[in-house]
Structure 1
Amino acid sequence: MSTKTLKDLFIHSLSDIYSAEKQMTKSLPKMARASTSPGLRSAFEKHLEETHGQIQRIDQVVEATGIKLKRIKCVAMEGLVEEGQEQIEEIEKGAVLDTALIAAAQKVEHYEIASYGSLIALGKQLEETEAVNLLIETLKQEKATDEALSLLAAEKVAAEALGGNRGKKAGNAL
């Protein structure tokens, strides 16, 4: 199926982010296991739960719009996941790896934020109000996760990676 209309683009984009979210359900547990920071591990576990909910929300969008998703693989997410896996394999467990995992997770979040933002714009043009509302809910979660990761990096993991004790004073951000 070629992409000729906004509806085709919406279907393709929704199929792509569905694949991306599915890939994250496999990647997040690996990232959680690789982390030595309890706050970061908890953030990954929380985001895994949210990701399952986001997949369910995509299913609701499909039902609300009456579309059928395409079976495609999100190549962008595949690359981001691979990059994160390489870091897990190459960096010794500890604060530096935790910081690298945060950066990898934020790259994923930024991709997802851009994807959901585009889907919302397309949904509005297609007057798919119910779909837009569901997608906005997911976009809010993605932005909150990104903010939480930034806070965690600033207050705890980055300080530990530098050998300081500021992270101990800040406590667990998540």
Structure 2
Amino acid sequence: MAVKSIEELFIHELSDIYSAEKQLTKALPRLARAAEAPELVAAFELHLEETQGQIERIDQVVEVLDIKLKRIKCAAMEGLVEEGKEVIDSIEAGALRDAALIGGAQKVEHYEIAAYGTLCALAKQLGYTEALALLKETLAEEKSTDEKLTLLAEGGGNQRAAQEAA
């Protein structure tokens, strides 16, 4: 990756999060099937719909700026998806697995929040006003999803996991 300008950095970061979102569209259905609590299943299914919209927004950014994404694979998301598979394989279905899935999903959200925050800062610096608005919309969705996951954990998910293990 020989990035030599802020514009090239923006394209690289956008390409990376595009790969991350694509990987996530494959992982979310698996997470939904592995979850037991109906509200967690619904959260994963809703986030899949949002993620598809976020990919469409990235496509809009590409179109608005008349740029071409690089073909790269987001190694960070690849690792986070792998962690999710390990949770599914190593923890029996139930409240404990749900608690672990929520934690893993929040790791994903925190990564995405950081990535979109960076892209917003770069877009602002570059004067990409239209792209910035699209990226801010996605950033807000990622933050909202993180908050919903926190509420699921604190609203009984972690307590059920502790009681199940006792």
In the superposition, the TM-score normalised over structure 2's length comes to: 0.97
Letter in 2 for 1:34: A
Distance between the aligned counterparts of 1:94 and 1:31, measured in 2? 13
CA shift for structure 1 position 159: 1.4
- Whole-angstrom distance in 2 between the partners of 1:121 and 1:131: 11
SS at match of 2:163: coil
CA displacement, residues 48-103 of structure 1 (integer Å, 9 cap, x when unaligned): 00000000000000001111000000000000000111010000000000000000
2:112 aligns with 112
Q: Which amino acid aligns with 2:97?
A: L
Residue of structure 1 in register with 2:73 after alignment? 73
CA–CA distance in structure 1, aligned partners of residues 47 and 69 of structure 2? 24
Determine the C-alpha separation between the residues in 2 that align with 1:41 and 1:33.
7
Aligned equivalent of 2:156 = 156
* Alignment-derived partner of residue 39 in structure 1: 39
Report runs of 4+ in structure 1 exceeding 4 Å deviation: none
Partner of 2:29: 29
Q: Deviations over 1:130-158 (max 9, x none)?
A: 00000000000000000000000001211
Gaps of 5+ in 1: 165-174
Gaps of 5+ in 2: none
3-state secondary structure, aligned to 1:162: helix
CA distance in 2 between counterparts of 1:47 and 1:156 reads 20
State the SS of the aligned residue for 1:92.
coil
Number of matched residues?
164
Q: Which residue identity does 1:58 align to in structure 2?
A: I
- The letter of the residue matching 1:121 is A
Query: Matched residue of 1:141: which SS?
Result: helix
Alpha-carbon shift at residue 46 of structure 1 (Å) = 0.1
Q: Partners of 1:125 and 1:67 in 2: how far apart?
A: 17
String of CA shifts for 1:104-135, please: whole Å, max 9, x gaps.
00000000000000000000011000000000
1:146 aligns with 2:152: no
For 1:135, the equivalent position in structure 2 comes to 135
Q: 2:87, 2:162 → 1: CA distance?
A: 18
